[in-house]
Amino acid sequence: MTPIRTDGLTKEFRLGLGRQRVVALDRLNLEVHQGEIFGFLGHNGAGKTTTIKLLLGLLAPTAGQAWILDRPIEDVTIKQQVGFLPEAPYFYEYLTAEEFLTFYGQLFGLGGAPLTKKVEELLEMVALTDARRLQLRKFSKGMLQRIGLAQALINDPALVVLDEPMSGLDPIGRRDVRDIILGLKEEGKTVFFSTHILPDVEMICDRVGILVRGRLRAVGTVQDLVGTSGVASVEMVVAGLTDAGIQEAERQGGKVLRRGAQVLLRLDDPSRVDSLVELVLRSGGRLVSLVPHKRTLEDLFLEQVKAGL
């Protein structure tokens, strides 16, 4: 079974009095594998939310096709097997956490003891058991995000779609959401989430796709996209380097940042490291540290965004 597949999926909008044509999503061809965590990356306005709305039937495509769990997105019955958390969800704030999950469970036709048990399990999963009788208007941003995740799982979906689930969360909240997503993968569920918080993607995603101005620029594992070897730059901290030595380091391509009695040298051409170290020692300086930096997903992301703008 293929959780998500698109073929030439396109969405255009007409804006303003002149009805200017804006392409929000341009011929997207994408396939998400069963049981994987897929990170859908893009800058603000890249088309991530538009893609999700198309997949869930909240928008109609201008062209192309898409399938959810091997069924056309026009098939409304597939919604029973999909869990969704929007980027900016609206929750009725006078419901308690327990009432909120019960209400959504009833929308899926659940009831009685099975629903009560499911609500208990989900509150425990998102660490909100103690807040079960607290009204949602008293929840913090992190708590609302966690109850939203629980809502997305009330129907025990095969596919979980999350739009910017880490947005606005502090480091603890982001860690909690990451742990929940990893737990869903262990249960065999497929998770598709959009984000622009790259460290979280590198930590938990099996594969990623990079969207720039509505076009898919790259897709694959993080290792395949950024490489597992190769140094992109080198940073060295040097003490006792003379002004003449600093000027020579800059002429050799080093970027210099003074930090008190020490100097931080960044070299974007790793092949020149030996000559720069030799210069430091010859100028009477002392090498405090030397740290190589490999190419990261952030480097790739910025490259793709700049190339696509």
Domain annotation for the chain: domains and CATH numbers: 4-226 (3.40.50.300), 231-308 (3.30.70.250)
* Distance (Å, whole) CA 48 – CA 27: 13
List, in order, residues 6 or more apart from 42 with CB less than 8 Å away.
48, 194, 196, 210, 211, 212
What is the identity of the amino acid at 3?
P
Q: Which of 189-198, 216-225, 249-258 comes out lowest in average pLDDT?
A: 249-258
**What would the mean pLDDT of 22-33 be, rounded to a whole number?**
95
Nearest CA to 210 out of 220, 201, 218 is that of 218
State the CB neighbour count (10 A cutoff) for residue 155. 19
Q: What was the pLDDT predicted at 140?
A: 87
**Termini Cα distance of the chain:** 36
Whether residue 301 is predicted with pLDDT greater than 60 in this model: the reply is: yes
The greatest distance separating any two alpha carbons of the chain, rounded to the nearest whole angstrom, comes to 80
Q: How confident is the model at residue 229 (pLDDT cuts 50, 70, 90)?
A: low
More confident residue, 242 or 106: 106
Grouping H, G, I as helix, E, B as strand and the rest as coil, residue 255 is strand
CB contact at 8 A, 20 and 35: no
pLDDT digits 0-9 by tens, 45-82: 899 999 999 999 999 999 999 999 999 999 999 999 99
Whether residue 119 is predicted with pLDDT greater than 80 in this model: the reply is: yes
Whether residue 303 is predicted with pLDDT greater than 90 in this model: the reply is: no
State the CB neighbour count (10 A cutoff) for residue 200. 20
More confident residue, 62 or 140: 62
Record the pTM. 0.80
Give percent above pLDDT 90 in the chain: 53
CB contact at 8 A, 174 and 200: yes
